Amino acid sequence: MTTRASSRIAATLAAVLLLSHCAQAPLGVDREVVPPPGPREIELGAQAHDEVLKAYARLEHAALQAYVDALGQRLARQSRRAGVAWQFTLLDSADANAFSLPDGRVYVSRGILPYLDSEAELAAVIAHEIGHVSARHGMDLAAAPVAAGLGSVLAPETGAAPDAPLLGALAAARVAGYGRENEREANRLGAAYLEAAGYDPRAMNDAAARLRALAAAQGSVRGLSPGAYHALADAPPGDAAQQRLRGLAEPAAAHAERDAYLRRLDGLAIGDSAAQGVLRDNRLLHERLGLTLQFPPGWLVRNRPDRVVATNSAGDALLELQAGPRRGTPLETLQKGVGLDPGARYDSGRLGGQPAAFAAGAQAGKPVVVAAVVIGGAQYLIAGMTRDAAAYERERSALRAAINSFRAITPAEKLAARPYTLRLATARPGQTFGALARQSRLGADGETLLRLMNGFPPDGEPEPGRLLKIVD
């Protein structure tokens, strides 16, 4: 979370499509030349691109940005989709995601890079997304149903966007994928692009296997971004692509190519970055803003550039933190800016020793409790909302405890707020992942993370001389 306050990512962000279902499928090429993007696709892509960059900042790493773009352009040249202005952007997000927009914009999150083990595997992820754009999967979902959620407490919706039906359908795809056949087609096309660009097409299968292992560890491994990984579809046994891929020889340059890819990642942040603050056991520690807040244990916490949002396991309660307005007292902020229903109660006081105001009531009939607090010369809003009164009674204590936990960060917590960093090391004889974890900032419970990063789940040890990804 940064200090800037931005509008709630509403229906437009629904155009973001996650890489979630990398199934193995037969190799092949585009069946026909697909027409270039029309005005509808171009308009939708431009609209969604602005919202994407509000939710996920570009990674400030010129060399990696250039690398991802060059790799994407190389693969895009293999597609027969005409007239696409392909753009490839690396995002500063801990999520292990990649997604695309219908006009040919493809995004890769920083968080996926450590769990891929070669340039070919990264190429597979990008090629899959190129396949979705080439096959116009994003524009084929206009009739799909839209799932409703709690929305945002601090920036309530002002009305449906003009593109709400289509964008809502794309939101469903963001969670569930495009459907098995479309995902298989994206992989068939992607594997063909890989092969045409000179990569081993088996990298599509290797990338899928790594992301499946990552998904299995969701929410249970220190250092992972929770809730960011989605189920991957498996090809049926005996699939023709599997038979062919098993018959291919291992490329002679695979080892050198792997090491070259790993060296590009040296120094990359693992998990949250300093710009957004870090999460440790659901506690937000933000050294730059000088604050900390303990989110309820067991809740899923998402750290975004404009806000931090936590949801309970039932999906009927949320808590969010964001920067407030630069002017006005905390009480004025709550009375004029939150938009609570008539009858809400307001009060002034202190929170974590800082000037604050509090409100309790409802927003569009949903129970809400919210605080505005000033710390370090800036104002922040912390709000909880539940779907109905029954959920509020169940979660009231958790919401209030989280709000009351807001305070200034301590010197000891500032040290803990240093982000994890990817480093490289050469395995020595007899070295184990357990020993590497104990020597790292992760401690003994970081062994699973190191295994996931290096492709050794759930067992096995590195052979001497192997270049490894470790965590500092």
Q: What are the pLDDT tens digits along the chain (472 aa)?
A: 754 333 332 222 233 323 233 323 334 445 556 778 888 878 878 888 888 887 788 999 999 999 999 999 999 999 988 889 999 999 998 888 888 888 899 999 999 999 999 999 999 999 999 998 898 877 665 444 444 567 777 765 434 444 555 544 554 555 456 677 777 888 889 999 999 999 998 898 888 888 888 888 876 665 555 444 343 343 333 343 444 455 555 555 666 789 999 999 999 999 888 888 999 889 999 999 999 999 999 999 988 878 899 999 999 999 999 999 999 999 999 999 899 999 999 999 999 999 999 999 999 999 999 999 999 999 999 999 999 999 999 999 999 999 999 999 999 999 888 899 999 999 999 999 999 999 998 888 789 999 999 999 889 999 999 999 999 9
Do residues 102 and 245 share a domain? yes
Do residues 221 and 298 share a domain? no
- Position 271 in a domain: no
Phi, psi of 426 (to 5 degrees): -95, 125
pLDDT reported for residue 30: 53
- Position 323 in a domain: yes
Q: How many C-beta atoms lie closer than 10 Å to residue 145's C-beta? A: 7
Do residues 105 and 167 share a domain? yes
Alpha-carbon span 405 to 407, nearest angstrom: 6
- Domain tally for the chain? 3
Do residues 95 and 222 share a domain? yes
Do residues 75 and 137 share a domain? yes
Choose one of 207, 228, 263: the last residue of a domain: 263
Question: How many residues make up the chain in this entry?
Answer: 472
- Position 82 in a domain: yes
pLDDT reported for residue 404: 97
Helix-strand-coil percent breakdown of the chain, rounded to 5? 35, 20, 45
Do residues 254 and 282 share a domain? no
Nearest alpha carbon to residue 221 among 453, 446, 472: 446
- Position 403 in a domain: yes
Q: Do 384 and 399 contact (CB within 8 A), yes or no?
A: yes
Do residues 208 and 282 share a domain? no
Q: Do 130 and 189 contact (CB within 8 A), yes or no?
A: yes
- Position 3 in a domain: no
What CATH number does the domain containing 397 carry?
Answer: 3.40.1000.10
- Position 447 in a domain: yes
pLDDT reported for residue 458: 87
Burial 293-328 (b: 16+ CB within 10 A, else e): bbbbeebbbbbbbbbbbbbbeeebbbbbbbbbeeee
- Position 285 in a domain: yes
Q: What is the DSSP string of 32-80?
A: SPPPPP-HHHHHHHHHHHHHHHHHSPBPS-HHHHHHHHHHHHHHHTT--
394 lies in which domain range? 278-414
Nearest alpha carbon to residue 79 among 15, 135, 141: 135
Do residues 302 and 222 share a domain? no
Choose one of 231, 263, 295: the last residue of a domain: 263
Do residues 391 and 408 share a domain? yes
CA torsion angle 468 89 10 138 (round to 10): -100
Cα-to-chain-centroid distance, residue 178: 18
